[in-house]
Structure 1
């Protein structure tokens, strides 16, 4: 794989634009998500009775048609009443009551229509079970359990009051759709948990396990909004004294240990309700809700004392709304006070004792990790569980209710084989998810499962028999868990097979097969929409988790992920480190806003002048890194250093894949040692602070772009 093969993360070269985009692209607010659920439920509650109305119009001479039209009118009216004010309902305290009423009307209306049409074996007999499968992907687990109990009571009421159904029909429908709905609920819940963990990753600094700049800024903006309403908040900015000396003397690993220890010390010195974040480099922030300017000085001194033994620091604070009313004003005042604190006293130089104490505190807790194959493994396992569930229900039918069926033994053997196969498939899900042929294996499994489910109604008398449901049951889970390009052919094959069996075996009414297929197809469509939306949000969260919020280039997590994928023996790849000389002095004398502006300019400049196929990242603070498609990256590194020359003196270290190391840690260690050897031989100059206008480079040259040419092997 070449460096150019990496999927492109978002590349915003202006830091403020990146931050705004990040906030805008985060998952929808809870109110928006609830409104979307209300609208989706309304659409489904309108479509189902509308389709039933077409069936009634096509069969006007059957009994109870006028009464059934009245039921349909009530269902559509209730569903339509919740569509328009969906956003208002989502924010209302009566939201749960309104949604519960809508669910009750939908289920009761479906049960009434099934009963008036002849019972559970009529063309409308599956309205209630199909509704349960739909609610499984739209509701939280506890609400779904309540709805399932109500649906089961109504379905069995129709089974007892309506026309008699074949032996085992109601039992098979209840068990089969109960299993499918549970699997859909389980899969949807797993996707939601995956999104939550990814959202955490995008907002947490992997080194210190405190909030990163993106997460802290979001919390700060929210806190300032609340402060304008009367709840005060205090921002504390913490800047470690002479932190650069730790990196220069004991190496970056010692610096990382001190940063992790600083975050843990701050969390320990503050309340559980307070928020700690690493804003970049050796700068930390803390948000103290409910704290005004009267209480803040004492808390600052307590925090200073806690940090003194491990990492001496300068601190500044500002309170909202007493001293500032906007995020910018709050930052500016806290930053000015931190600088005044630094200049008013002599910052203590860190010693080996400080480093040792930091290491004694231990590393930060492991960062949350999300496997790239987790969703695929879940989908494969759920397909196996569905196969086992379907065949287990078939075995219950064959043993308990199939005494008079001529092919009872064949059905039992088929179900036993299918159950064993499904269990094996679940156990092999982890191994299959890591296989490059995972999609092919899932497609073959889908075809095999459809073949087994088609054999059951063929042996049992057609799709109108109790086992005919097994052909349709896989559709929602296929749509929810499989990629659309694979799911669509399987769903089409499933539907076509169902219609062929309906037309060839047994003697079902045409409306029975059509309405059952349409019902499950509608649930599958809803599952497909849910799955695509989940995948889109997951991809966006993954991009954010790999992107530095300030500069728009890859962050440490994203760069290490890319390096792990791209560094393979035999490739002509070099790693280059860039460390800005005197950057700490710039921050201390002109403020962090000037330092942030310079970091954004450096990221833009490195990206613009890196050779095609390069990947640029910011590891933290003023340390940047680049993977360059060249066996010897020194010449490219010098050109990139020269591009930075007008504004920043830079120390550089390089390492070549193969001769200097076989993986990222080894290459980084070699380049880091070379960088500090160079730094020790010359006197660094402070970065220039005059802004320089640099045009946004051609998008085709931005690091990580899939359109970049492949480097020579």
Structure 2
């Protein structure tokens, strides 16, 4: 008894590849669009597989129902039920055979909706012919609605759910007055469960999209980061090839940015980067994409621009940047000059340095940089709380713990007036509702507690036990509360994809049916099988979504070039390590590493050589350190290391070892801060290590002193 339908299970998850931010992102606003990195052919094949999978799954319900009909042939209306099942099988087989033609004709959505209508009509007819809502197939429609709530967009869901409710009440009215209370309770309860499924699914999609933003947006400037820009560039070139249009890749490399950091501080440099990204964005069209692809390097892709229109854009950019952030700008045209991203970058890179030679490169005055600081407001990145998913899961579980026993309480008070166990059931259900209310009230606190993993299963098992006792008191597995107990399982499986409660629930229902009673064996089989199948589908969706969120979290915290932690990831990890060190009184040290004359590598050998060197530096740091130590790249040529596996006395030795290892290819200046000795928080450690780094750099003649006094705090790190 499997209430499956094509649309319910073939709705594709928002995958990592489909959640690409389509920029550029304006400062002060979030402008996102969803696109896909797959080719049109790949998308067509995915849709074709969706049609075929949906048609195949739609065949399961009538097949299983035919088995039920065949084994109970002596009952009434079996020939008619068999004809309905065969008709549904034939229609599903036709859809399966014609899947390719359906996809080519662009009728996939129409066929899916038609399949849903056929399923609803068939389930309604089967329930009427089999004796009503309390028959073995009477639960098909409620479970169908719950499954659709997990997999469908809101508007189509409301339309289809309305048809399902109409079919359900048609069965209830024709089935007789004895089924009215049963229908009232389960219509309301199914609506509540479906609403909770919709809310949770929408919250997880929102979380996934925000994680996608974080994985493709530079946290400092709000432009696309390297990963996001490369994906956007690939998409634009593919679209240009498809349409025959042209495209232009722009590269912008700031002049003297290293000296800006040395003279005016990292905070001024960060503000200048924010201003530069915003200024470039403003000078281009709204559908052009801007990215920060390096420390002081920006890129843009312009679609539909011919080569003869590029000089006007370059002149406009030079005029906008002049006096605050002068830069070398290069370009390459697709397809006139190159057709691959790598070739376009190489041509644009050469023109960047030719442009640098042709104009007067100088470090801007401090007043100009200060003006950029006041004018360059940062775009706020998408917010993703560390405990958001857990808090949402606990909240929805609590609401489920309110609604299910609440509906049982409503049933007891309205429809069980003469029941001998009425007040005992009401008392037990009130306790269960109280547990649910307490769970919702404590959701925020529980989400931050490590004890939640132990507390929530205990609360869930207690509530489920109470509901089981109520079902036993009300007469067994065919009572009104019994179906309500089963319809909660899909949402539980969606929230907790491991589905650890499903075997417990199945065993409890079977035990009730065997030892307390049930109207028929097929009633128990049909209802339990429907609940478990829908729950397993929901659990599968939950597992896939959880894996995608995990991958997106990793992408949002890792530097795309070096595979070290980025600024965001380093801050989150170091905050946790710092709290652990304070709690357990362990030593902790922060190292800042600044590559000497790295800009000369980019200028003389090109950005590809500089990128390769940065990757080598990141790999070398990870190889030379303990796996528990934290390595991050804050931007440009600045790396940070948090030493959590070394004592305070070993800090200088580790710094010397890293400096010697990197000296094989490039000089490096290192500053250190020791927890407790140089500060009690990350900002204090960073401020001391940063000041020490520049003192050493100045003493060795590798750079200019940034300013007469060391920074008072670590804002350069947390900006």
**TM-score (norm. length: structure 2):** 0.87
Match of 1:603 in 2: 618
* Aligned residue among 283, 286, 292 for 1:278: 292
* Aligned residue among 57, 74, 78 for 2:70: 57
Query: What are the Cα deviations for residues 399-454 of structure 1, in whole angstroms up to 9, with x where unaligned?
Result: 33333433334444444443343223212111111111112111012112212322
Q: In the TM superposition, what is the alpha-carbon distance from 1:91 to its structure 2 partner?
A: 7.5
Aligned residues of 1:120 and 1:165 also touching (Cα < 8 A): no
Match of 1:551 in 2: 562
Relative to structure 1, is the Cα distance of residues 347 and 281 closer, same or farther in structure 2, using a 3 angstrom cutoff? same
**Separation (CA, whole Å) in 1 of partners of 2:468 and 2:216:** 48
| Residue aligned with 2:307, SS | coil
Match of 2:688 in 1: 670
After TM superposition, the structure 1 = structure 2 runs for residues 133-532 of structure 1, keeping only pairs within 5 Å, are: 133-162=146-175, 165-229=178-242, 230-484=244-498, 487-488=499-500, 490-532=501-543
**Separation (CA, whole Å) in 1 of partners of 2:339 and 2:674:** 51
Cα-Cα RMSD = 2.4
Relative to structure 1, is the Cα distance of residues 610 and 466 closer, same or farther in structure 2, using a 3 angstrom cutoff? closer
Q: In the TM superposition, what is the alpha-carbon distance from 1:32 to its structure 2 partner?
A: 7.5
Aligned residues of 1:167 and 1:401 also touching (Cα < 8 A): no
Q: In the TM superposition, what is the alpha-carbon distance from 1:523 to its structure 2 partner?
A: 0.7
Q: In the TM superposition, what is the alpha-carbon distance from 1:467 to its structure 2 partner?
A: 2.1
Query: What are the Cα deviations for residues 268-300 of structure 1, in whole angstroms up to 9, with x where unaligned?
Result: 222221111100100001122222212221122
Matched, 1:648 2:666: yes
| Alignment coverage as a number of residue pairs | 659
Match of 1:117 in 2: 130
Aligned residues of 1:207 and 1:256 also touching (Cα < 8 A): yes
Aligned residues of 1:611 and 1:636 also touching (Cα < 8 A): no
Aligned residues of 1:31 and 1:87 also touching (Cα < 8 A): no
Aligned residues of 2:323 and 2:364 also touching (Cα < 8 A): no
**Separation (CA, whole Å) in 2 of partners of 1:111 and 1:365:** 53
Q: In the TM superposition, what is the alpha-carbon distance from 1:187 to its structure 2 partner?
A: 1.3
Aligned residues of 2:251 and 2:329 also touching (Cα < 8 A): yes
Match of 1:684 in 2: 702
Match of 2:82 in 1: 69
Q: In the TM superposition, what is the alpha-carbon distance from 1:214 to its structure 2 partner?
A: 0.1
* Aligned residue among 656, 670, 673 for 1:638: 656
* Aligned residue among 660, 679, 686 for 2:678: 660
Q: In the TM superposition, what is the alpha-carbon distance from 1:385 to its structure 2 partner?
A: 0.9
**Separation (CA, whole Å) in 2 of partners of 1:133 and 1:167:** 21
| Residue aligned with 1:531, SS | helix
Q: In the TM superposition, what is the alpha-carbon distance from 1:520 to its structure 2 partner?
A: 0.4
Q: In the TM superposition, what is the alpha-carbon distance from 1:159 to its structure 2 partner?
A: 1.8
Q: In the TM superposition, what is the alpha-carbon distance from 1:463 to its structure 2 partner?
A: 2.4
- Larger RCO (alpha carbons 8 Å, 6+ apart): 1
Query: What are the Cα deviations for residues 529-548 of structure 1, in whole angstroms up to 9, with x where unaligned?
Result: 01110111111111111111
Aligned residues of 1:119 and 1:164 also touching (Cα < 8 A): no
Match of 2:586 in 1: 571
**Separation (CA, whole Å) in 1 of partners of 2:300 and 2:383:** 25
Match of 1:45 in 2: 58
**Separation (CA, whole Å) in 2 of partners of 1:87 and 1:430:** 49
Relative to structure 1, is the Cα distance of residues 40 and 636 closer, same or farther in structure 2, using a 3 angstrom cutoff? same
Q: In the TM superposition, what is the alpha-carbon distance from 1:253 to its structure 2 partner?
A: 1.6
Q: In the TM superposition, what is the alpha-carbon distance from 1:457 to its structure 2 partner?
A: 2.5
| Residue aligned with 1:658, SS | coil
Aligned residues of 2:173 and 2:180 also touching (Cα < 8 A): no
Relative to structure 1, is the Cα distance of residues 39 and 190 closer, same or farther in structure 2, using a 3 angstrom cutoff? farther
Q: In the TM superposition, what is the alpha-carbon distance from 1:75 to its structure 2 partner?
A: 2.3
Aligned residues of 2:260 and 2:363 also touching (Cα < 8 A): no
Q: In the TM superposition, what is the alpha-carbon distance from 1:650 to its structure 2 partner?
A: 1.3
* Aligned residue among 575, 584, 590 for 2:599: 584
| Residue aligned with 2:59, SS | helix
Structure 1 unaligned segments of length 5 or more: list them.
Answer: 1-22, 686-713
**Separation (CA, whole Å) in 1 of partners of 2:654 and 2:54:** 57
| Residue aligned with 2:179, SS | coil
Q: In the TM superposition, what is the alpha-carbon distance from 1:313 to its structure 2 partner?
A: 1.4
Query: What are the Cα deviations for residues 117-175 of structure 1, in whole angstroms up to 9, with x where unaligned?
Result: 11111111111111111111111111111110010111111222335543401111211
| Residue aligned with 1:295, SS | helix
Matched, 1:620 2:638: no
